[in-house]
Structure formats: C-alpha cells, structure tokens
C-alpha cells in the first residue's frame, strides 16, 4: 500500500536535491569568477602603481622645466631637493652634472632621471623615466629590458663623446 506524504513534509524535502551536475557547474562558475576577480585586482594594482609613479615624476618635470637653459639646453644640475628617506625613495638616480655636460652634445632623447625598479604582479617590470628630448622633459614608463638597452646606449654615447673631447 503506497504511503501518503501529505502532512509529512520531511520525505518531500529529501527528494528535492539538486543534481550533481548543477553543483559542479556552480562550483566551476565560482572558481572562475574568483580567478577573474583576482586577475582584475592584480591588473588594477599594477596600473595604479604605474600611474602613481608617473604622476610623481610629472611633478619633478615641472621643477625641471624651470631649469632648462637658453635654446633648450640640458640643465647640468638635475638632482632635485626630494626626501632621501630610504623607505620612500622613488628616484634611484639623477644624471650627474659631469655626464649632463657631455650629453649636451648628443642626440636626444637623454635619460635624465629614473626610478627604482617597479615590480608588477602581471606583465613586465619597469621604471619610470624622465627623458630630456628637444629642449623639453617628458615622463615615460619603460620596461626593464628596454631600460637596460637605453642606459647601455647612453653610457656608450658618454664614452664616445668623452673620447672625442679629449
């Protein structure tokens, strides 16, 4: 004799279970959503770090613009009065006056100052660089491999011009 489930809600609730495929689909969706969110957060962090470095360098460029000589000559004193606290030090190196004097005779662009290497979670690590080009300063994000090539080229140009002037 069939038993009636009327008045007894427990057997009816036990029979309403989602199929395994629905549970697996939901689990996969949650994992993919969490992964996409983590990638978005990492990309946003990298983008903000790069923008903050470039914005800080832009403030330095405004000070540099006041130092440009007659006819758009490269200033010899590129070291700005910025805090030298090691915990907050952003600019790693300014072009020394001796090298700036030599590079006045070179073709632009000239690396005037650059930041410490900025580590990115996703993508290529890089540096913020202040270039001097045609009488004006500009800021650019430069990936580390390209920065290494640029600094090597500038060093060889300094050596070449120093040898010519001797």
Query: Whose structure tokens read 């009065």?
Result: 81
Contacts 24+ apart (CB under 8 A), 23-27: none
CA dihedral 142, 128, 96, 69 (to 10 degrees): 100
Which is more confident, 17 or 109?
A: 109
The pLDDT of residue 10: 57
How does pLDDT run across 19-55, given as a tens digit for each residue?
778 888 999 999 999 999 999 999 999 999 999 999 9
How does pLDDT run across 71-116, given as a tens digit for each residue?
777 777 777 666 555 555 777 788 888 888 888 877 778 898 899 8
The pLDDT of residue 66: 80
The pLDDT of residue 16: 65
**Domain range list for the chain:** 21-165
Residues with Cβ < 8 Å from 83, sequence gap 6 or more? 89
DSSP 108-128: SPEEEEEEPPBP-SSS--EEE
pTM comes to 0.76
The pLDDT of residue 82: 61
Which is more confident, 10 or 58?
A: 58
How does pLDDT run across 108-150, given as a tens digit for each residue?
788 988 998 999 998 889 999 999 888 888 999 999 999 999 9
The pLDDT of residue 2: 58
């Amino acid at each position: 004799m069939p038993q009636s489930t009327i008045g007894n809600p427990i057997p009816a609730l036990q029979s309403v279970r989602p199929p395994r495929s629905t549970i697996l689909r939901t689990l996969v969706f949650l994992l993919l959503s969490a992964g996409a969110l983590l990638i978005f957060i990492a990309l946003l962090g990298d983008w903000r770090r790069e923008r903050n470095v470039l914005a800080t360098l832009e403030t330095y460029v405004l000070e540099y613009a006041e130092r440009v000589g007659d006819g758009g000559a490269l200033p010899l004193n590129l070291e700005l009065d910025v805090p030298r606290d090691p915990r907050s030090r952003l600019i790693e190196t300014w072009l020394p006056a001796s090298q700036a004097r030599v590079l006045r005779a070179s073709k632009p662009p000239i690396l005037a100052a650059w930041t410490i290497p900025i580590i990115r979670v996703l993508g290529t690590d890089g540096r913020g660089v202040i270039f001097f080009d045609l009488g004006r300063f500009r800021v650019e994000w430069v990936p580390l491999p390209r920065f290494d090539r640029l600094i090597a080229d500038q060093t060889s140009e300094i050596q070449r011009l120093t040898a010519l002037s001797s």
